[in-house]
Structure 1
Amino acid sequence: MIILESEWDEAAGVVEQSEGNGEISAPQSVATGYVQSAEEPRSRAAQSVTSRTSRSSDPVPPSPLVAESIATTSYGSTTSDYPDSANPNVMGPVSYTFAPVLHSPNSMNLQSQVAMVPVYHISVRMNVFIPSSYITIVTRGDNVRGEMVGQFEMGFSIKKATVIMDGKEKLIENVLVKGGTRMARTWQWKFESDSSRHISWTFDDPVKYCYVGTRSVGSAANVLAAFTPPPLTPRSDGRVAPAATLKVFPLGQYLFDHILLSALILERRRLSAS
């Protein structure tokens, strides 16, 4: 699907808007119910961190930027309650940007838009035995030496596309399946056998929405994330196109790893020639 410039301009801020033009399938309550209240919860989280820090041995409280970093970025939880969450403690939706890494042309970081702190590092390398097939590796932090989150391989070859997470390798065609109804085509991500950890994506509109499970598509109460890819054509005003972004709602922090891996695979599939 080719995204027209007009669609991009209208959809670039779809999560923040309270009114749409009818082309975006996401419910309006997603914007009005979550995004408008984002700053207040985030401020409370930052103030809480500042208060706790000021009682420590360091007499100087952290700056707002440091507080925001602490409140919205944790590089993954080590507790059993949040085995794959980038940050289980956020109180409001957090926006992240896919930023290129200058010293590594084949990689990018997913970083918080406010604190500018990398949460995930994404790199791509070629399969030496199959030069037409590429492996995408996702780790925590800002470099490839961070904790492994997962990887997937896709390309033009007789080798089927695969994804690896938690030491398990599966065929993408068995993990990512089509679903939905005549009203909204969806992709369902079912890497784990536990159905409570399954998610669904609507991937037809310029902004892609992720929901809990496989039957809650369109429900504002069950939205996990919103992915906005960059446009495929130059902007009509000549300005450089904005980077891709991922807005993760509090409920989505618990499945951040699965959200990111599935979004990257779907975007690769969407942009690859048939």
Structure 2
Amino acid sequence: SDGYHMYRILYKNLPINLVFSLLILTSCTQSTKLNNDVSLENLGNKAYERQDYETAQTYYKQALQSKPTISAYEGLAQTYEAQNSWKEAVEIWTAISKIDNLTNLQLDKFKLKAAKNHARLGNASQARNYLNNINTNSILDSREGKLVSGLTSVLEGRETHAINSFQDILTQTPEDQSVKINLALTYLVFDKLDTAIALFNEMPNNQVAKLNKSIALVLKGKEKEALALATALQGENGAKKTIQYARDLKNIPPTSRARHLFGVK
């Protein structure tokens, strides 16, 4: 495919090849200085806002074919993230982070995005490399920065660091249920089952918390209680699958358990 015109890939509903991205992006910083018509990019933004991600991708790709801008690449990467297409997204964030003339703040922002997508792919070492090269404290200390750091640490088997990352967020926003679930899952990964169950109990109306509580109960040896809870949530057939899934988690190391529980590839 190296012989293809560098824009050809933009006509297809496929991930942008990293090599092509880098070629196009070399002109991005200059293009963004021009007062160009960005109507296609705006259409992409509107499609993204209404969660029509495939349409948004089409508009962003057309915009990039016409007048490449960093913001259009950001929009395209975000549509992939919204669809859990981490591989496609990380290629774009990686390419953006290699552009010359970015401010330090921009560069660190894109490094965090690349780290997040590497972590979602289970590439803990790559994620850690990006995190270690972020120099802006406000980015590392942001909610997203701590989430990425926490997930990366879980995948690395760094229990204390992962717990601290999630707890730091909850210190600021104690009712953040998604972070509380991440913290509870971290305890579950490292066999702190009572602590995990206590956290799940703090979210009685959260279906994800209830389902993961049933998994924790299996790991704790309380299968009858786990089955009753899972059955109420999923029905008999779904509950049986959940119980078996939890049994399979019992005898695998924390790093492998983390990949399962956090849903990374």
TM-score range, shorter chain: under 0.3
Higher relative contact order (CA 8 A, sep 6+): 1
Structure (1 or 2) with the greater strand fraction: 1
Structure (1 or 2) with the greater helix fraction: 2
Q: TM-score, normalised by structure 1?
A: 0.26
